[in-house]
A and B are shown apart, each in its own frame.
Chain A
Amino acid sequence: MRKVQLAAAAVPALVIAVAVGAATGGVLGAAGGFVVVTAAAGVAYLFLSRRLGAWGYAERDDDLLVRRGVMFQRLSVIPYGRMQYIDVTAGPVERSFGLATVRMYTAAAASDARIPGLPAEEAARLRDNLASLGEAHAAGL
């Protein structure tokens, strides 16, 4: 999902860089601009693929684990009984690739459980599963 957004951002940047290069330095400038932007996109691609590769989740008996981050590695444990509601969102880019983001909320603002880039069926399954588990484990404040 992130990779797609990256491509969408890189294409206009590429066009602008080539145009600016061409306007200032002719063919050589255009080629330079092209090289710089392609290199930047490649580096960003590496970063983002690592970031997405580090993202994961596991449904345990009583709680959900969400792991993410390369530089700052985070692991969140959210007991099902503490979930207040679950959001499934899919932006236009995500939708075009059949993906969705699932997000869990607890009463604590700091709880941070977001799983992006799930296939739509998996997202729906996860949502239903979490909702029923949350009901079974429901606990008050």
Chain B
Amino acid sequence: MSILGTSGPNGPATPDPSGNAPAEVRWRRLHPLSPVVRTGRALAVLVVLAATDLSSHHGASNTTLLVEAGLIGLLLVGSVVAWLVTRWRIEEGVLRIESGLIRRTSRRFPAEQLQAVDTVRPATARIFGLAEVRLRMAASTGSSGRLSYLSDADAEAVRARLLALAHGVADHTPAPPERVLFTIGSGRLVASILLSGLGLILELVIIGLIVLTAVEPAALGATISGGATAFLGLGTTVFRRLNSEYEMTVAEASDGIRLRSGLLQTTSETIPRGRVQAVRLVEPLMWRPFGWCRLEVDVAGKQRSSRENKSESANLRAVLPVGSRDQAEWLLHWILPGVPRPGLDPPSRARWKSPLRYRHLSWGRNQTYAVTTSGRIRLTTDWVPLAKVQSIRRVEGPVQRLLHLATIHLDTAGRNVHALARDRDRQESAELIAELPVACQLARQALRTG
């Protein structure tokens, strides 16, 4: 696969979408093969079903064959109609997408509000050389526009053009240059997944199955059929993670971090620096002997459309799926320059409230960021820019009250990270709840004035 997003081949190779003025006002369709790609998986299953029915030659299977043929036809007709009624164009700095046969929808995506343009290529799309363009908008509604599918060259051209419009530069300005920071080797990724919590469960299940086969082969069938769904679910989750983080390349550009990865489905996405709500560093127990860690970012926009990948909405985006401490530190300082170190430990009586966590509890802050660490087995460190804090809470439970402790929460707009300074001294927490809102306000003002 060619490297995407580099400026070189796009400029001269695709004159038509952005070249002369009349061409750009014209409505355009998606790629003619997109209905096939969209229904690809369902279609493949149905075709295989029909083929097996056909080859088995049972007299009575005529009706099922008819049903299957009908379903295939319906699917195809439906997706072709959807393709026929969908059109898009870029006019005056706005991408417009119109779709729908009966309920017609017309959506406008102004380029000024654009945060990032990502391209995604599922396995079926890669066969035909197609790509999906996804728009990440700044609006808090978080609705993301999609153009699925365009040809690779078109997708890159649209991406470059939208980004040029968003930054208010001329059409043919090359995309900002990027510098590749590192690539994560597939061997290390596989090893890290095998050593992660989910991977370990999967291995235990497989070992259990092997032992069962050796001891009592008769029971194997029943066990497998009983636990098939759970087993499949586990396998898919592990595979999804492998698929989304395989061969990840991390590059820096002036507008953010570029991540490229994928085994079957390849993704190229940009995470703008200003959109990061929180950064989390995770160190699972089994990774610590190797000095590995994982760096994740939480971005705004929790109301993602349900049609996007589940894995994407459920998990944080890993900017470093597995890497050394140095790499993580470097990346962290690139995303959030000048973060403080956690240095303030809780009072020793917090040991009674959180015996397992106590060793790892600490927090710290400076004028721009707050950092908290926690974790019983998996160590997590969270950094939150004070300018992104949405609300501050102080919670004091019954056990904490006995010990004169309280917990401070710093809530952000991200999906699931918020900084949590656990089990602080009551006096300290009272001071914090008084001074943190002021600190957050100052940080916001500093951010606004630049």
Of the candidates A62, A106, A108, A111, the one having the most CB atoms from chain B within 10 angstroms of its own CB is A108
Pick the contact of A107 from B138, B300, B396, B437 — CB < 8 Å?
A: B300
* 0 or 1 for each of B259-292: is its CB under 8 Å from A? (1 = yes): 0000000000000000100000000000000000
Q: B359 within 8 Å of A by Cβ?
A: no
Are A78 and B138 neighbours in the complex by a CB distance under 8 Å?
no
Are A108 and B444 neighbours in the complex by a CB distance under 8 Å?
no
Are B412 and A77 neighbours in the complex by a CB distance under 8 Å?
no
Known contacts A106-B411, A108-B411, A113-B391: A77-B433 contact under CB 8 Å: yes
Q: A81 within 8 Å of B by Cβ?
A: yes
Are B401 and A73 neighbours in the complex by a CB distance under 8 Å?
yes
- Count of B interface residues, CB-CB < 8 Å: 29
- Which residues of the other chain, B, contact A136 by a CB distance below 8 angstroms? none
Name the residue of chain B whose CB is nearest to the CB of A63: B437
- Which residues of the other chain, A, contact B418 by a CB distance below 8 angstroms? 108, 110
Are B409 and A79 neighbours in the complex by a CB distance under 8 Å?
no
CA separation between A74 and B398, bound complex, in Å?
A: 12
Pick the contact of B393 from A71, A76, A81 — CB < 8 Å?
A: A76
Q: A114 within 8 Å of B by Cβ?
A: no
- Count of A interface residues, CB-CB < 8 Å: 24
Are B390 and A76 neighbours in the complex by a CB distance under 8 Å?
no
Are B395 and A107 neighbours in the complex by a CB distance under 8 Å?
no
- Which residues of the other chain, B, contact A108 by a CB distance below 8 angstroms? 390-391, 411-414, 418
Are B398 and A72 neighbours in the complex by a CB distance under 8 Å?
yes
CA separation between A18 and B107, bound complex, in Å?
A: 62
* 0 or 1 for each of B294-320: is its CB under 8 Å from A? (1 = yes): 000000101000000000000000000
Chain A residues touching B, majority SS: mixed
Are B300 and A112 neighbours in the complex by a CB distance under 8 Å?
no
Name the residue of chain A whose CB is nearest to the CB of B434: A77
Are A141 and B140 neighbours in the complex by a CB distance under 8 Å?
yes
Nearest-Cβ distance from residue A133 to partner chain B, whole angstroms: 14
Are B391 and A77 neighbours in the complex by a CB distance under 8 Å?
yes
- Which residues of the other chain, B, contact A62 by a CB distance below 8 angstroms? 437, 441
Known contacts A63-B437, A109-B302, A139-B448: A74-B411 contact under CB 8 Å: no
- Which residues of the other chain, B, contact A113 by a CB distance below 8 angstroms? 391
Known contacts A141-B140, A141-B300: A82-B391 contact under CB 8 Å: yes
Nearest-Cβ distance from residue A106 to partner chain B, whole angstroms: 4
Are B391 and A111 neighbours in the complex by a CB distance under 8 Å?
yes
- Which residues of the other chain, A, contact B444 by a CB distance below 8 angstroms? 81, 139
Name the residue of chain A whose CB is nearest to the CB of B302: A109
CA separation between A141 and B137, bound complex, in Å?
A: 12
Nearest-Cβ distance from residue A130 to partner chain B, whole angstroms: 14
Chain B residues touching A, majority SS: mixed
CA separation between A74 and B275, bound complex, in Å?
A: 29
CA separation between A107 and B395, bound complex, in Å?
A: 20
CA separation between A120 and B131, bound complex, in Å?
A: 55
Are A107 and B394 neighbours in the complex by a CB distance under 8 Å?
no
Interface residues of B in 373-416 (CB under 8 A from A): 388, 390-398, 401, 409, 411-414
CA separation between A127 and B433, bound complex, in Å?
A: 24
Q: A84 within 8 Å of B by Cβ?
A: yes
CA separation between A81 and B395, bound complex, in Å?
A: 23
Known contacts A72-B395, A77-B433, A139-B444: A106-B401 contact under CB 8 Å: no
Q: A75 within 8 Å of B by Cβ?
A: yes
Are B401 and A79 neighbours in the complex by a CB distance under 8 Å?
no
Pick the contact of A74 from B140, B390, B394, B413 — CB < 8 Å?
A: B394
Known contacts A63-B437, A108-B413, A110-B418: A78-B391 contact under CB 8 Å: yes
Name the residue of chain B whose CB is nearest to the CB of A109: B302
- Which residues of the other chain, B, contact A82 by a CB distance below 8 angstroms? 390-391
Name the residue of chain B whose CB is nearest to the CB of A110: B411
Contacts A/B (CB < 8 Å), 25 sampled: A62-B441, A71-B398, A72-B395, A72-B398, A73-B401, A74-B394, A74-B395, A76-B391, A77-B392, A77-B437, A78-B390, A79-B391, A79-B437, A82-B390, A106-B411, A107-B300, A108-B390, A108-B413, A110-B409, A110-B418, A111-B391, A141-B138, A141-B275, A141-B300, A141-B413
Beyond the given A72-B396, A74-B394, A75-B433, please list 6 additional residue pairs across the A-B interface where CB-CB is below 8 A.
A73-B395, A73-B396, A73-B401, A76-B391, A76-B393, A82-B390
Which residues of A are interface residues toward B (Cβ below 8 A)?
62-63, 71-79, 81-82, 84, 106-113, 139, 141
